[in-house]
Amino acid sequence: MSDQQRPDRDYREVNFDGLVGPTHNYAGLALGNVASMSHGGLVANPREAALQGLAKMKALMDAGYLQGVLPPQQRPDLGALRALGFTGSDERVLARAAGDAPQILRAVCSASSMWTANAATVTPSPDAPDGRVHFTPANLQSSFHRFLEPATTGRVLAAIFRDEARFAHHPVLPATPAFSDEGAANHTRLAGGHGDAGVHLFVYGREAFGWGSETLPAPKRFPARQTLEASQAVARQHGLAESQTVFAQQHPEAIDAGVFHNDVIAVGNGPVLLYHEMAFLDEAGTLEALRERMSTPLIPVRIPLEAVSLEDAVGSYLFNSQLLSNPDGSMTLVVPGECQENESVWRTVQDHLLAGANPIGEVVVKDVKQSMRNGGGPACLRLRVVLGAEERGALAGRVLLDDALHGELTAWVERHYRDRLAPEDLADPALARETLVALDELSGILEIGSVYPFQLG
Ligand code: SUG
């Protein structure tokens, strides 16, 4: 599409953060996610978690970035328990699950939809042949608690990005291991500016089909979540051509060290790709493929193993940062507080990032510890959607953060959330009731209509 056809050149990135749900807890559900595995069983503080998320959103809004918000999901998912054979009243279903299958109860209570980087893959309109913004909710089939998310995610995205002339919604990929899809966490768009034509880097952990793929290097300890076939299918759905895509295999040793998504070891924005030496199996080939396709010079910012070990990368979540564009062409990196607590990581931030020849001019530290204990840093908590001014004007609902919405959401959290949630509290029928009341009110605040199973009947 030519610029004449598309007069709207004011493209901006909107970060849609997931609001942490009232059942946020530590259940140790995610194999290969070191933080989740080591914090399972701890007492969580859902109120603090939600307020930390809202504080991050507000800080970025105040700094001039466009900030959106996506609602949490209905948990406990009693429908999932019923599908697994638990019957009777809601109280009985919860009590029986708590007694017979406590790990299943924990899974259906997870507030994991807060990590909206896994909600979907998004292609902005300048890259799509039909000039619309394309969405595919991720099937998240690699874990039961996350596999429960895509149905509601699809409804929420369709409710907000409602205008069919501007937004296209694709079906979730078949929820089977061959098409295992974890969404935007394994997808990076590189472009000159947000409104320029982009190149899409899809990072996968394994190949499902193809002769000889079983001989490819594979992780030995932890599962590879994303498949090449899933990434290719999403690119196909969105109409991306070969000249717009690069598919790169994640380094199996990184997966075995706890890098369960690419966004735990790399982050891109505009023409900048900040990555760890061990991010890609074929580092040189990946950069070369990107350079061949990009119409603007790639700016790689490489962090070598000798500066930051894989263990420190995973422990600090340095790469799970938000890299944001500023009007003067500089970029701001929003890192989790854990980076400051790690000496070699913090030194790398000063010497390598801030003092290096790259556009990163500022590092902002945010405390999202409640989410971090489950392996969710600042970048996990947000879904990036690049939108033109008209597309932003076409958003339905009240989902772009301003002071009034921030105030209402903060008061809503303070009204409804507990400040203590231990695994044994998940069977409390009062928690399920409190959650429904809170979510019903929230869908009113956000003006998104009926998106929850309890509202759909
Ligand atoms: O899928 N943790 C999430 C964290 C997702 C982070 N997202 C990105 N990297 N984009 C996961 O592993 C843990 C839940 C628990 O153990 O209670 C969890 O699901």
- pLDDT tens readout for residues 336-382: 999 999 999 999 999 999 999 999 999 999 999 999 999 999 999 99
Closest ligand 1 atom to residue 32 Cα is 12
Q: Measured in angstroms, how far is the CA atom of residue 345 from the centroid of ligand 1?
A: 22
Please tell me the CATH code under which domain 12-75+110-456 is placed: 3.75.10.20
Q: How far apart (Å, rounded) are the C-alpha atoms in residues 278 and 252?
A: 9
> Which residue ranges make up each domain of the chain?
12-75+110-456
Q: How far apart (Å, rounded) are the C-alpha atoms in residues 266 and 273?
A: 7
Residue 185, ligand 1, Cβ within 6 A: yes
What is the structure's pLDDT at 210?
Answer: 73
Average pLDDT over the chain, rounded to an integer = 96
Under 8 Å between Cβ of 439 and 71: yes
What is the structure's pLDDT at 316?
Answer: 98
What is the structure's pLDDT at 216?
Answer: 80
Residue 117, ligand 1, Cβ within 6 A: yes
What is the structure's pLDDT at 8?
Answer: 58
Residue 226, ligand 1, Cβ within 6 A: no
What is the structure's pLDDT at 89?
Answer: 97
Q: Measured in angstroms, how far is the CA atom of residue 32 from the centroid of ligand 1?
A: 10
Best CA proximity match to 314, nearest among 19, 37, 29, 25: 37
Closest ligand 1 atom to residue 27 Cα is 17
Strands 66-70 and 12-18: parallel
Low-confidence spans in the chain with pLDDT less than 70:
1-8, 211, 213
Q: How far apart (Å, rounded) are the C-alpha atoms in residues 39 and 237?
A: 37
CA quadruple 456, 80, 447, 172: dihedral sign: negative
182 is catalytic: yes
Residue 135, ligand 1, Cβ within 6 A: no
Closest ligand 1 atom to residue 263 Cα is 9
Under 8 Å between Cβ of 290 and 245: no
Catalytic residue among 24, 194, 251, 261: 261
What is the structure's pLDDT at 1?
Answer: 44
Residue 188, ligand 1, Cβ within 6 A: no
Residue 75, ligand 1, Cβ within 6 A: no
**Among protein residues, the one whose CA lies closest to atom 10 of ligand 1:** 380
Q: Which helix (H) or strand (E) holds 108?
A: helix 102-109
Residue 27, ligand 1, Cβ within 6 A: yes
What one-letter code names the amino acid at 394? A
Under 8 Å between Cβ of 133 and 250: no
Q: What pLDDT, in 10s, does the model give residues 42-101? A: 999 999 999 999 999 999 999 999 999 999 999 999 999 999 999 999 999 999 999 999
Closest ligand 1 atom to residue 36 Cα is 16
Q: How far apart (Å, rounded) are the C-alpha atoms in residues 342 and 348?
A: 10
261 is catalytic: yes
What is the structure's pLDDT at 2?
Answer: 45
b/e for 14-46, b at 16 or more Cβ within 10 A? bbbbbbbbbbbbbbbbbebbbbbeebbebebbb
What is the structure's pLDDT at 215?
Answer: 75
CA distances from 426 to 76, 99, 104 (A): 8, 12, 11
